[in-house]
Chain A
Amino acid sequence: MQLRDTLRFSVHAVASYRARTLLMLLAMAIGVASVVLLVSLGESARHYVANQFSSLGTNLLIVLPGRSETTGGPPPLLGATPRDLTLDDALALTRLSSVRRMSPIVVGSAPVSRHQLEREVLVVGATAELAAMRHLKLIQGRFLPAGDPTRGMSICVIGVKLKTELFGGDQVLGQWLRIGDRRFRVNGVLAPTGMSLGDDIDETVIIPVANAQALFNTASLFRILVEATADDTIATAKERISATITQRHDGEDDITVISQDAILATFDKIFRTLTLAVGGIAAISLVVAGIMIMNVMLVAVSNRRAEVGLMKALGAPRRHILRIFLTESALLSLAGALLGLIAAAAGLRVLAAFLPQFPIVIADWSAPLALGVAVTTGLIFGILPARAASRLPAAEALARR
């Protein structure tokens, strides 16, 4: 039998039994739609996180005080008290050729007030480089000026929400704020960024690192943010940073250097695993659809015993019968899968309309995967009924008893 004829014959048969065909299409469509939907949502979440990270800056390394065996983990609670990171440590890093720029960071919480208005906010001590490294934009004024980080200046840059809360619609640039027991002049207002992985920059005050150390009465740094010169110098930079600090700390390797890429990779891995797990669970519905296909095809075979007997009488060998029924299962699965894909695409479109800030991506591998799995399922679960058909004894199949 020519392939074209087998297909035509199967399509004809499938189209003639509406109820069972619809049932099977529905089962397969639901299976495929749920796989594609869930996998795409997982992928979307992964992309969302990746985008958030890249908006934080590229080729970034974070230097933390304290030794950690596994990168990304917290510094050890017990053991030798690590030596603090100092501003001089940070400045030493600027001499490395693999480092483009760096910003020492001091973080603390302090009351910020203007006239009678007071807020407890996150105060970040940094240098001018931070703006470029973290892609910070300003809607008014300027960021901290470049200069010697060891010398402070009583100026600050504030988040947009803090600006509204403290100044309302008033003139803000050049105005004075009280942070803790010191006065700072507002030099700029940060553009709104919203939530960006936990830090709400809109409610933050950024002051020169030396002033922050004075404010919080500390000589140490919270961390040092370093930007490597390029993608492929991250590893070198990491090594050189460790070596430099170790040397400065009397040979004691007591810092941890994390690359942002490593954190991102961890997140990426988590989301991938999650996506696969969810997709796998959804794939169970494909198996259910497969079992349904098997049942419906078994019924079809017993309804069409006489037809099978006839085809044998007309000279069709077993393998032809097998092929005809397998083609039917495969066609039904494929059609169901296509319907499922359409349903999934429509569902994602609706979701995208309701969640404009969450970028929905259809995982491009999910469609071929779902189609492949659907057809494979159809074939696997179609084998049993097709074999049953091909093994029907012709004489008995043709007899009316």
Chain B
Amino acid sequence: MIRLDGIERVFQVGEEAVHALHQVDLTVAAGEYVAIMGPSGSGKSTLLNILGLLDRPDRGSYFLAGAKVSDLGEEQQAQVRRHQIGFVFQFFHLVPRLSAAENIELPLTLAGVDPAERTRRVDTALTAFGLADRARHRPDQLSGGQRQRVAIARAVIMHPKLILADEPTGNLDRAAGTEVIEILEGLNREGLTLIMVTHDPELGDRAHRRIRMVDGSIEADSG
């Protein structure tokens, strides 16, 4: 499903060039559950951003579902993100002024889906993620675990094939974190490809495949 060939990503910080990714090659099959681990600053987030088309590599190619997405224009990349990729972030990134339901609805709204269809799908998602009684609540009225559940519901509302999660439990207590991981693993069991950045070894052990990054390179790959 995913193939990265010779990915390079260099950030220019003042005079200095920071090599965030160096010669990264990676293949991920559909339906895999991959944990990306490694010390802070090793390039995990940068790799995930490139996989999510939120960032462009300086060199190398990226194939997603058979298409060379690294060559696509801005508009087409947005289209790929919209339909094929769901994001879950450490800091949730919910829109503070919108209710839980409206946050989940946002990808549908941006995609121009009709209101009736939107409501139907949002209602289904709210029930599926145990948020039915929180639909009208704003993010600041929700617990961390509930916020992340809203974010996950939002990530899958467009029925993507790939979920990218950057430290999804980094801001949650253990109980809420476990709950979130179980939801993500449930999605993976339903066939979604799950790639998750974490530096919690216990969470990493639950994944079917572990990739260890050091200094912008893949140092170890259990797959």
Give the residues from 182 to 201 in chain B that come closer than 8 angstroms, CB to CB, to chain A.
Answer: none
CB-contact partner of B97 in A1, A13, A318, under 8 A: A13
Interchain CB contact under 8 A, B74 and A318: yes
- Nearest to B91 among chain A residues (CB) is A400
Say yes or no: A315-B78 contact (C-beta < 8 A), given A1-B109, A13-B97, A399-B45.
yes
- Is A398 part of the contact surface with B, judged by Cβ < 8 Å? yes
Chain B 47-65 near chain A by CB (<8 Å), digits 1 or 0: 0010010110000000000
Say yes or no: A393-B87 contact (C-beta < 8 A), given A306-B93, A312-B78, A399-B45.
no
- Nearest to B46 among chain A residues (CB) is A395
- Is B158 part of the contact surface with A, judged by Cβ < 8 Å? yes
- Is B95 part of the contact surface with A, judged by Cβ < 8 Å? yes
Interchain CB contact under 8 A, A315 and B97: no
User: Could you tell me the distance between the alpha carbons of A301 and B96 in the complex, rounded to whole angstroms?
Assistant: 15
User: Could you tell me the distance between the alpha carbons of A320 and B82 in the complex, rounded to whole angstroms?
Assistant: 13
Chain A 358-396 near chain B by CB (<8 Å), digits 1 or 0: 000000000000000000000000000000000001110
Interchain CB contact under 8 A, B75 and A317: yes
Residues of A within 8 A of B93 (CB): 306-307, 309-310, 313, 398
User: Could you tell me the distance between the alpha carbons of A16 and B182 in the complex, rounded to whole angstroms?
Assistant: 35
Say yes or no: A12-B78 contact (C-beta < 8 A), given A314-B107, A315-B111.
no
User: Could you tell me the distance between the alpha carbons of A320 and B110 in the complex, rounded to whole angstroms?
Assistant: 8
Interchain CB contact under 8 A, A312 and B81: yes
Interchain CB contact under 8 A, A317 and B78: yes
- Is B10 part of the contact surface with A, judged by Cβ < 8 Å? no
Residues of B within 8 A of A315 (CB): 78-79, 81-83, 107, 110-111, 158
- Is B89 part of the contact surface with A, judged by Cβ < 8 Å? yes
- Is A316 part of the contact surface with B, judged by Cβ < 8 Å? yes
Give the residues from 98 to 152 in chain B that come closer than 8 angstroms, CB to CB, to chain A.
Answer: 98, 106-107, 109-112
Interchain CB contact under 8 A, B97 and A316: no
Say yes or no: A12-B97 contact (C-beta < 8 A), given A316-B78, A317-B78.
yes
CB-contact partner of B49 in A16, A314, A395, under 8 A: A395
Interface bin, chain A: 20 to 34
Chain A 292-316 near chain B by CB (<8 Å), digits 1 or 0: 0000000000000011011111111
Q: How far is the CB of A39 from chain B (nearest CB, A)?
A: 38
Which 9 A/B pairs are nearest by Cβ-Cβ distance? A315-B82, A317-B78, A16-B97, A395-B55, A395-B49, A394-B54, A395-B54, A315-B81, A314-B107
Interface residues of B (CB under 8 A from A): 45-46, 49, 52, 54-55, 74-75, 78-79, 81-83, 87, 89, 91, 93, 95-98, 106-107, 109-112, 154, 158
Interface residues of A (CB under 8 A from B): 1-2, 5, 9, 12-13, 16, 306-307, 309-320, 393-395, 398-400
Contacts A309-B93, A318-B78 known; list 20 others, CB within 8 Å: A1-B110, A1-B112, A16-B96, A306-B91, A307-B93, A310-B93, A311-B106, A312-B81, A314-B82, A314-B154, A315-B110, A316-B82, A317-B74, A317-B78, A318-B75, A394-B49, A395-B49, A395-B55, A398-B89, A400-B91
Give me 27 A-to-B residue pairs in the complex whose CB atoms sit less than 8 angstroms apart, sorted by A's number. Answer: A2-B112, A5-B109, A9-B109, A16-B96, A306-B93, A307-B93, A307-B95, A310-B93, A312-B54, A313-B54, A313-B87, A314-B87, A314-B110, A315-B78, A315-B79, A315-B81, A317-B74, A394-B49, A394-B54, A395-B46, A395-B49, A395-B54, A398-B54, A398-B89, A398-B93, A399-B45, A400-B91
